[in-house]
Amino acid sequence: MSQHSSHVQIFPLPTQGNVNSMLKLAELLVLAGLKLTFLNSDYVHEQLLHHPNVVSRFTKYVGFEFHTIPDGHPRAGHGFMEIYESLKSITKPIFKEMMVKMKPRVDCIIADGGLGIAVDVAQEI
Protein backbone atom coordinates (compact mmCIF):
# COMPACT_ATOMS: atom_id res chain seq x y z
CA MET A 1 0.00 0.00 0.00
CA SER A 2 1.28 3.45 -0.78
CA GLN A 3 2.09 6.03 1.87
CA HIS A 4 -0.91 8.12 2.95
CA SER A 5 -0.57 11.76 1.98
CA SER A 6 -2.51 13.31 4.88
CA HIS A 7 -3.68 12.27 8.33
CA VAL A 8 -7.25 13.29 9.17
CA GLN A 9 -8.84 12.91 12.56
CA ILE A 10 -12.61 12.84 12.94
CA PHE A 11 -13.98 13.70 16.38
CA PRO A 12 -17.80 13.58 16.64
CA LEU A 13 -19.90 14.65 19.60
CA PRO A 14 -20.46 11.57 21.76
CA THR A 15 -23.99 10.93 20.55
CA GLN A 16 -25.03 8.11 18.24
CA GLY A 17 -26.50 10.26 15.46
CA ASN A 18 -23.36 12.36 15.21
CA VAL A 19 -21.14 9.28 15.22
CA ASN A 20 -23.16 7.59 12.46
CA SER A 21 -22.86 10.51 10.04
CA MET A 22 -19.17 11.01 10.82
CA LEU A 23 -18.51 7.29 10.19
CA LYS A 24 -19.96 7.73 6.70
CA LEU A 25 -17.65 10.67 6.08
CA ALA A 26 -14.70 8.68 7.47
CA GLU A 27 -15.37 5.87 5.03
CA LEU A 28 -15.34 8.25 2.07
CA LEU A 29 -12.08 9.83 3.19
CA VAL A 30 -10.27 6.54 3.78
CA LEU A 31 -11.46 5.31 0.38
CA ALA A 32 -9.84 8.44 -1.07
CA GLY A 33 -6.52 7.26 0.37
CA LEU A 34 -6.23 9.38 3.50
CA LYS A 35 -4.99 8.05 6.82
CA LEU A 36 -7.90 8.43 9.19
CA THR A 37 -8.18 8.32 12.96
CA PHE A 38 -11.74 8.17 14.27
CA LEU A 39 -11.89 9.44 17.85
CA ASN A 40 -14.82 8.15 19.87
CA SER A 41 -15.69 8.61 23.50
CA ASP A 42 -15.09 5.44 25.51
CA TYR A 43 -18.85 5.18 26.07
CA VAL A 44 -19.84 5.46 22.40
CA HIS A 45 -17.10 3.07 21.32
CA GLU A 46 -18.36 0.51 23.82
CA GLN A 47 -21.80 0.84 22.19
CA LEU A 48 -20.24 0.27 18.74
CA LEU A 49 -18.64 -2.94 19.98
CA HIS A 50 -22.16 -4.33 20.45
CA HIS A 51 -22.46 -4.11 16.64
CA PRO A 52 -19.45 -6.09 15.38
CA ASN A 53 -20.40 -5.46 11.76
CA VAL A 54 -19.59 -1.75 12.25
CA VAL A 55 -16.17 -2.41 13.74
CA SER A 56 -15.25 -5.09 11.18
CA ARG A 57 -16.46 -2.86 8.34
CA PHE A 58 -14.00 -0.12 9.23
CA THR A 59 -11.02 -2.09 10.48
CA LYS A 60 -10.71 -3.70 7.04
CA TYR A 61 -9.53 -0.36 5.64
CA VAL A 62 -5.79 0.20 5.59
CA GLY A 63 -5.12 3.58 7.15
CA PHE A 64 -8.22 3.59 9.38
CA GLU A 65 -7.96 3.46 13.17
CA PHE A 66 -10.44 3.81 16.01
CA HIS A 67 -9.11 5.66 19.06
CA THR A 68 -11.05 6.37 22.23
CA ILE A 69 -11.06 9.12 24.82
CA PRO A 70 -13.00 9.52 28.08
CA ASP A 71 -15.78 12.08 28.00
CA GLY A 72 -16.39 12.01 31.74
CA HIS A 73 -20.15 12.00 31.36
CA PRO A 74 -22.04 9.62 33.68
CA ARG A 75 -25.07 9.47 31.29
CA ALA A 76 -27.76 8.20 33.70
CA GLY A 77 -30.02 10.97 34.96
CA HIS A 78 -28.01 13.82 33.46
CA GLY A 79 -28.90 16.23 30.67
CA PHE A 80 -27.13 16.96 27.44
CA MET A 81 -25.52 20.18 28.71
CA GLU A 82 -23.51 18.16 31.22
CA ILE A 83 -21.76 16.49 28.27
CA TYR A 84 -20.36 19.88 27.21
CA GLU A 85 -19.10 20.64 30.70
CA SER A 86 -17.43 17.25 31.10
CA LEU A 87 -15.89 17.55 27.62
CA LYS A 88 -14.31 20.87 28.64
CA SER A 89 -13.08 19.80 32.04
CA ILE A 90 -12.13 16.14 31.45
CA THR A 91 -11.74 15.47 27.74
CA LYS A 92 -9.99 18.65 26.57
CA PRO A 93 -6.68 18.16 28.45
CA ILE A 94 -6.53 14.49 27.43
CA PHE A 95 -7.30 15.41 23.82
CA LYS A 96 -4.55 18.04 23.80
CA GLU A 97 -1.98 15.57 25.11
CA MET A 98 -3.14 12.97 22.58
CA MET A 99 -2.77 15.41 19.69
CA VAL A 100 0.74 16.44 20.73
CA LYS A 101 1.89 12.81 20.96
CA MET A 102 0.05 11.36 17.93
CA LYS A 103 2.21 9.86 15.20
CA PRO A 104 1.95 10.54 12.38
CA ARG A 105 0.98 14.13 13.10
CA VAL A 106 -2.64 15.01 12.36
CA ASP A 107 -2.96 17.41 9.42
CA CYS A 108 -6.69 18.04 9.71
CA ILE A 109 -9.29 17.70 12.47
CA ILE A 110 -12.93 17.33 11.49
CA ALA A 111 -15.09 17.86 14.55
CA ASP A 112 -18.77 18.53 15.10
CA GLY A 113 -19.64 22.21 15.17
CA GLY A 114 -20.65 21.95 18.82
CA LEU A 115 -17.32 20.45 19.79
CA GLY A 116 -15.46 23.66 20.58
CA ILE A 117 -12.72 21.85 22.48
CA ALA A 118 -11.33 20.55 19.18
CA VAL A 119 -10.98 24.09 17.83
CA ASP A 120 -9.45 25.28 21.12
CA VAL A 121 -6.85 22.50 21.12
CA ALA A 122 -6.02 22.98 17.43
CA GLN A 123 -5.37 26.67 18.03
CA GLU A 124 -3.28 25.94 21.12
CA ILE A 125 -0.98 23.47 19.39
Is 74 inside any structural domain? yes
Is 79 inside any structural domain? yes
What is the predicted pLDDT for the residue at 31?
A: 95
Sign of CA dihedral 121, 114, 19, 76: positive
What is the predicted pLDDT for the residue at 81?
A: 78
Is 105 inside any structural domain? no
> Do 83 and 13 contact (CB within 8 A), yes or no?
yes
d(C-alpha 17, C-alpha 65), whole Å: 20
Sign of CA dihedral 19, 30, 58, 102: negative
Is 84 inside any structural domain? yes
Is 112 inside any structural domain? no
Is 78 inside any structural domain? yes
Is 26 inside any structural domain? yes
> Do 20 and 48 contact (CB within 8 A), yes or no?
no
Is 62 inside any structural domain? yes
Where in the sequence is the domain holding 35, given as residue range(s)? 20-91
Could you count the other beta carbons within 10 Å of the beta carbon of residue 46?
11
For each of the chain's 125 residues, which pLDDT tens digit applies?
446 679 999 999 888 789 999 999 999 999 999 999 999 999 889 888 888 888 889 989 999 999 999 987 766 556 677 888 888 899 999 999 999 999 999 999 999 888 899 999 999 98
Count how many domains the chain has: 1
pTM: 0.88
